């Protein structure tokens, strides 16, 4: 075969193996048929030139090339076969690599969806319990809480399945949650909440901030003790920072049984979604519990 035709046939064999033989035979455990097809492709490479040459008149006999001619012909044949074997192995390796990447991507998406599904209902049920308690004596406050919860649920339902959401929407979600807690807690705790910077144009994976804030309210407030919670959000360029600090107070043992579930899930989500772009630091002293989170959203 001329060099151009040989190269073209080599490319065709590669893609035929990659797109047809591997997915339809090799990945379906039809190994014998796959091996026969590969052997057939190699055989075609050698048979086609012979069939083409046999259709033309025989050329006059050539002078005896010497004893080295059979050796050279055998070397060329072996080299050609090895080239095709390498092509088959390369296409198999590439296909397996792509298949592994796709499987890993699907696994990560499934795991992230599972983690998000663990976070959202937990928060909604806690909020509904708070609203129920408020309706016992504060109808006006309960009405405002229901409005806030409606906004939160709308965000939860519409954005839960999105990979990325507007950072401003995430901020609004956090703000609505904090406003709900303000109504519920009244004067039981001193609360400081500050947002600095412009979130316009930035996106973030949804529900990454709320677990740290929720834990501060859940484990940092006791009606019989002086409590405080400080929450600060800052955006500069593409860098997002969250600081949450709360006083450690006594809580019911049942609360501590699930302590850290949301944080553990969020830590795992951060490692999956922002493996080299996030830093989470959690510090605990005798009297305080603090969280510092940095995420580069570029």
Per-residue pLDDT tens over the stretch 55-102:
555 555 555 555 454 545 555 567 777 888 888 889 888 888 888 877
- CATH class, range 117-296: alpha beta
Q: Report how far residue 26's alpha carbon sits from residue 225's, in angstroms, rounded to the nearest whole number.
A: 68
Q: Do 13 and 22 touch, CB atoms closer than 8 A? A: no
Give the chain's radius of gyration (CA, Å). Answer: 33
pTM of this structure: 0.55
Q: What residues does 288 pair with on adjacent strands?
A: 247
Residue 297's nearest CA partner among 195, 175, 168 is: 168
Q: Which residues of the chain have pLDDT under 70?
A: 1-5, 48-77, 103-104, 106-143, 160-161, 186-188, 223, 251-261
Q: Pairing state of beta strands 189-196 and 227-236?
A: parallel
Give just the sign of the alpha carbon dihedral 142, 173, 123, 180: negative
Q: Report how far residue 50's alpha carbon sits from residue 110's, in angstroms, rounded to the nearest whole number.
A: 54
Burial class (CB in 10 A: 0-12, 13-18, 19+), 152: buried
The structural domains of the chain, with segments of one domain joined by +, span: 3-58+65-101, 117-296
pLDDT of residue 71: 46
pLDDT (tens digit, 9 = 90+) per residue, 37-54?
Answer: 988 888 887 776 555 555
Q: Do 167 and 297 touch, CB atoms closer than 8 A? A: yes
Helix (H, G, I), strand (E, B) or coil at 133: helix
C-alpha separations of 1 from 4, 18, 50 in Å: 8, 23, 9
Q: Report how far residue 80's alpha carbon sits from residue 4's, in angstroms, rounded to the nearest whole number.
A: 15
Q: What tokens does 59 get? A: 């050329």
- Give one word for 294, left, alpha or beta, with left for phi > 0 and alpha for psi -120 to 50: beta
pLDDT of residue 6: 72
Residue 205's nearest CA partner among 257, 240, 153, 154 is: 240
pLDDT of residue 253: 44
- Give one word for 260, left, alpha or beta, with left for phi > 0 and alpha for psi -120 to 50: left
pLDDT of residue 128: 64
């Amino acid at each position: 075969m001329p060099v151009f035709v040989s190269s073209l046939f080599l490319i065709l064999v590669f893609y035929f193996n990659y797109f047809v033989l591997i997915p339809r035979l090799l990945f379906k455990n039809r190994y014998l048929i796959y091996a026969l097809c590969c052997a057939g492709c190699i055989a075609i490479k050698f048979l086609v030139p012979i069939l083409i040459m046999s259709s033309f008149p025989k050329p006059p006999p050539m002078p005896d090339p010497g004893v080295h001619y059979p050796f050279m012909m055998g070397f060329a044949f072996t080299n050609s076969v090895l080239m095709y074997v390498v092509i088959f192995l390369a296409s198999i390796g590439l296909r397996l690599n792509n298949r592994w990447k796709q499987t890993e991507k699907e696994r990560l998406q499934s795991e992230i969806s599972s983690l998000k599904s663990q976070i959202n209902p937990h928060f909604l049920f806690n909020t509904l319990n708070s609203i129920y308690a408020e309706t016992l004596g504060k109808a006006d406050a309960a009405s405002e809480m229901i409005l806030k919860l409606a906004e939160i649920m709308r965000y939860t339902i519409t954005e839960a399945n999105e990979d990325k959401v507007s950072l401003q929407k995430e901020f609004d979600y956090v703000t609505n949650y904090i406003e709900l807690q303000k109504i519920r807690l009244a004067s039981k705790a001193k609360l400081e909440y500050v947002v600095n910077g412009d979130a316009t144009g930035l996106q973030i994976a949804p529900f990454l901030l709320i677990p740290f804030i929720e834990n501060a309210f859940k484990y940092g407030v006791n009606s019989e003790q002086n409590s405080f919670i400080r929450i600060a959000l800052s955006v500069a360029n593409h860098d997002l920072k969250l600081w949450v600090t709360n006083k450690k107070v006594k809580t019911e043992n049942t609360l501590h049984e699930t302590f850290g579930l949301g944080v553990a899930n969020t830590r795992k989500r951060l490692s999956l979604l922002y493996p080299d772009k996030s830093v989470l630091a959690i510090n605990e002293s005798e009297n305080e519990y603090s969280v510092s989170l940095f995420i580069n959203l570029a």
